[in-house]
Each structure stands twice: as C-alpha cells, then as structure tokens.
Amino acid sequence: MRCPAVAAVVVAGALALTGCGGSDGSGSGDGKAHLSVDSAYMPQPVSDMAAGFLTITNDGGAADRLTSVSSKAAGQVTVHETVDGAMQEVEALEIPAHGALVLESGGNHLMFEQLKRQPKQGENVSVELHFDRSDPVTVEIPVKPATFTPKTGH
Ligand SMILES: [Cu+2]
C-alpha cells in the first residue's frame, strides 16, 4: 500500500514540475514585445540637423522602450519629446504592449545632429533603433520634402 502511494506522489510532483516549466516557456513567449516599424520619413534637411519620424508598433504582450538610435549619416542621433512646443532630449520612450509609439511632427521625434552630408528627397537614411529588451532594428528612412525645419539650439 505504501509503495504505490509514494510512487503516485512522485509522479504528481514530476507532472507539476513539467507543467510549471511549460507555462514558464509559453509565458516568456507571450511576455515579449513584437516590434515593427512603419511610416518612417525625414523631412529633407536644410542644415546639418534633421528630424526623423516613425511609428513603432508592438503586437506583443510586454512593453519595451526605445533607448537609443544610431546612424552612420549623423554624428549623433537623439530621441526628443515636445513639451509645450519646446523640444527636449529623453532617455527613452515607452512602447506599450499591444500598442504603438508614434513619433510625429510636433511631438516625439528623432533628432539627427552633425549630419555628414545633407540627404536629398528620394534618398534613404539608414538608422539602427536600440531597445531595452528587443534586438536592434534597422530602418531605412526615406527623405521627404522639407516641410518641417527643426529649430537650432534646442
Ligand atoms: Cu528635437
């Protein structure tokens, strides 16, 4: 009588462990950000500075953050937000789970400084987006007419 009872407990324990590991695996799968980028454009720059806009959509079940941006076309790329009409650099921007981070004219944007040359309308500027958790994403940003001029000295 005792031996079968002990065996049953061991089997139950093994099943519980397997179930736990399985749910952990699927849990981390569901709990990841799934990022995609679209609507990217750069107004053709009129100085050695340029703004960049894009939308990062997150279909995943976990939030992520845009933490930095790099581009061979510029000496430095920073992430800015606009508060009461004034731009300021931010450490990172949140990309909510099942949501999107929108960078648009008059709001959040990428700021390219020390452009090595001024890209023209019709060209692409390649940038690499870096995130808190997700792998970096390379985006080709098409250059559009200069309808937006970033203010200097902000
Ligand atoms: Cu700015």
Residue 88 C-alpha to ligand 1 middle, in angstroms? 6
pLDDT values of the chain reduced to their tens digit, one per residue, 154 residues: 454 444 444 444 444 444 333 333 334 456 899 999 999 999 999 999 999 999 999 999 999 999 999 999 999 999 999 999 899 999 999 999 999 999 998 999 999 999 999 999 999 999 999 999 999 999 999 999 986 454 544 4
- Residue 32 has what pLDDT? 93
- Residue 104 has what pLDDT? 92
Residue 113 C-alpha to ligand 1 middle, in angstroms? 10
Contact indicator for 107, 82 with CB cutoff of 8 Å: yes
Residue 32 C-alpha to ligand 1 middle, in angstroms? 30
Residue 122 C-alpha to ligand 1 middle, in angstroms? 22
Model pTM score: 0.76
**Per-residue b/e over 76-106, b at no fewer than 16 CB within 10 Å?**
ebbbbeeeeeebeeeeebebebeeebebeee
- Residue 29 has what pLDDT? 52
Contact indicator for 75, 114 with CB cutoff of 8 Å: yes
Residue 123, CB-side half-sphere exposure with 13 Å CA sphere: 11
Question: How many of the other CB atoms lie within 10 Å of CB of 147?
Answer: 9
Report how far Cα 97 is from the mean position of its chain's Cα atoms.
12
- Residue 30 has what pLDDT? 66
Residue 97 C-alpha to ligand 1 middle, in angstroms? 26
Contact indicator for 65, 95 with CB cutoff of 8 Å: yes
Strand, helix or coil at 25? helix
